[in-house]
Structures are given as C-alpha cells and as structure tokens.
Amino acid sequence: MKLYLVPTPIGNLEDITLRALRVLREEVDVILAEDTRTSGNLLKHYEISKPMQAFHLNNEHVVVERIAERIANGERMALVTDAGTPAISDPGFMLVRECIRRGVEVECLPGATAFVPALVNSGLAADHFIFEGFLPHKKGRQTKIRQIVENEYTTILYESPFRLVKTLEQLAEAASPDRKVSVARELTKIHEENVRGTLDEVIRYFKQKEVKGEIVIVLEGKDGSNSSESTTE
C-alpha cells in the first residue's frame, strides 16, 4: 500500500539513481506513466519488465480515485513522467493529494528535474527564487507576466520552443530589454545550450535560429544585483 514518485532522466539516460532503478524493478506492481511509449523505452534500456498504465492530462480526473483505491487496497505503484520529477507542472499532484487523503503512504525519490540545473547554471541569484512552471497560453497571461517582472526574486519558467521568442518579447515589453535572463535548452543532452544575457540580446540570438527541445527560462528579479555576462555555450 504505497505510491512511489520516481524521477526519470530529463535527457541523458545515465541520470537515474540506483534507488530509482531498484524501486521500478523490485518494489512496485505497476508503473503509472505520462506516456507508456517514452517510459517503455527507459524501462527497456534498463531491462525492467513491469506492467504500465497511462496517467496523463487526458485521463487523470477519471482514473485518480480508482488508482488511489487500488493502492489503498494493497497495490504498490510508481508514478513517472516522460522526464523529470512527477507532480512538477503535471497532474501527478492530484494522485498524491488523493493518496494522502486516504492515508496511503507516499514516498518521493530525489532525482532529475530541469529547473534546478537551469537555475544554478544561469549565474543569476539562486538564494531566493520563484518557480512558475508554464505560463497561461491566453487567459491571465499578461497579468501573470506583469506580476513576474515586478518580482524581486529570480523567476523560473518552462516554455515550449514554439513560444520562446514570443515569451521573451513579452517579458522585455513588461520589464525592460536590459533585464538579465538565461535560457537553458536541451539540458543534459548532446546539444545542450545555455544562452545568457539581456532579454534583448537573447531575443536577437533565438530569432536567428530554429529553436528545438525543452526550454527553461530563468529571469533576473527586479533591480537584481547578481547577473551573468552575455555568453552562449
């Protein structure tokens, strides 16, 4: 009667802990996956054979109570996402909340998540920060952006490569083109890239290329004193 939250690599398959492999291989009866194909590739790589069940944005409202009941009745399950730590910017928190409500034990393993390396590698202040996840696409977007640029602490955002330039331009318009920012792309992968500078500099850089991969934006707080020099890697 237990739910394990198991972080999975955000790119490099070596970034998984021995404990996570043991839990997936030996401790659980079922693995709940955001995408069973993606997680299936990871399990195949490590020669782990366990039943999988889809758990994603399209079905969580329907299945969360049913799954929590199964765990409460004695099944042991692991929740994984396509990449990173479950329940961060995904619906996993709903299952955690329901399990806690039912008195089911929940154990979260430490492991990979995109925003920590992006923050530490940005050169911006990391003693206080706010993680916003994904911005709203439409309703409430401008309000949220205005709140973010007025924040004195470093702010971390996740973004799609298709909306990266638009988001940076909106941040520059609401704050200042001179506000410092760091954009991390394809973290831990072969083509990892970290672009640091002012919003204006980073916008001009990404306008000149096709943007691919997972994106983390780290924005300097208002009147921030710690900043990075303009550089790409």
pLDDT in tens, 43-94: 999 999 999 999 987 776 778 999 999 999 999 999 999 999 998 888 889 9
Torsion, Cα 182 183 188 189, to 10 degrees, reads: -150
Percentage, residues of the chain above pLDDT 90: 87
Domain harbouring 144, CATH code: 3.30.950.10
Give the percent of the chain with pLDDT over 70.
Answer: 96
128 plus 99 within the same structural domain:
no
174 and 218 belong to one structural domain: yes
For β-strands 30-33 and 76-80, DSSP reports them as: parallel
* 231 pLDDT more than 80: no
Average pLDDT, the chain: 93
Given a cut of 90, whether residue 186 has pLDDT beyond it is yes
CA-CA distance, 35 to 10, in Å (whole number)? 14
Based on the domain organization, do 184 and 93 belong to the same domain?
no
Distance CA 149, CA 170 (A): 10
- What does the alpha-carbon distance between residue 67 and residue 3 come to, in Å, rounded to a whole number? 10
Mark whether 135 and 185 lie in a shared domain: yes
Given a contact cutoff of 8 angstroms between Cβ atoms, the answer to whether 44 and 31 are in contact is: no
Domain that holds residue 126: 115-232
Helix, strand or coil for residue 9? coil
Q: Which residue has the tokens 């996740």?
A: 158
Number of domains in the chain: 2
User: How many whole angstroms separate alpha carbon 177 and alpha carbon 169?
Assistant: 8
| Vertex 74 angle, CA 73 and 78, to 5° | 115
Verify that 57 and 129 share a domain, yes or no. no
Q: Which of 51, 80, 108 is the last residue of a domain?
A: 108
Q: Which of 108, 125, 155 is the last residue of a domain?
A: 108
Distance CA 61, CA 97 (A): 13
pLDDT recorded at residue 225: 55
Question: What phi and psi, each to the nearest 5 degrees, are found at residue 187?
Answer: -55, 135
| Cα–Cα distance, 83 to 3 (Å, whole number) | 18
Buried b / exposed e along 93-103 (16+ C-beta atoms within 10 A): ebbbebbeeee
pLDDT band at residue 198, thresholds of 50, 70 and 90? Answer: very high
Q: State how far the Cα of 60 lies from the Cα of 47, in Å rounded to an integer.
A: 28
Among the listed residues 108, 120, 133, 110, the one whose alpha carbon sits nearest the alpha carbon of residue 184: 120
- Distance, in Å, from the CA atom of 116 to the CA atom of 131, rounded to the nearest integer, reads 10
CA distance 223 to 178: 11
Please determine, for residue 168, whether its predicted confidence score (pLDDT) is greater than 60. Answer: yes
What pLDDT band is residue 102 in, cutting at 50, 70 and 90? very high
> What pLDDT shows up at residue 75?
97
Do 223 and 197 fall into the same domain? yes
Q: Is residue 228 predicted with pLDDT exceeding 50?
A: no
Residues 212, 154 within the same domain = yes
Q: Given a cut of 90, is residue 4 above it in pLDDT?
A: yes
Q: Based on the fold, state whether residues 23 and 99 are members of the same structural domain.
A: yes
Same-domain check for residues 87 and 187: no
Quote the CA–CA distance of 49 and 98 in Å, as a whole number.
27
Q: Of the residues 108, 140, 168, which one is the last residue of a structural domain?
A: 108
Q: Can you give the pLDDT at residue 232? A: 54
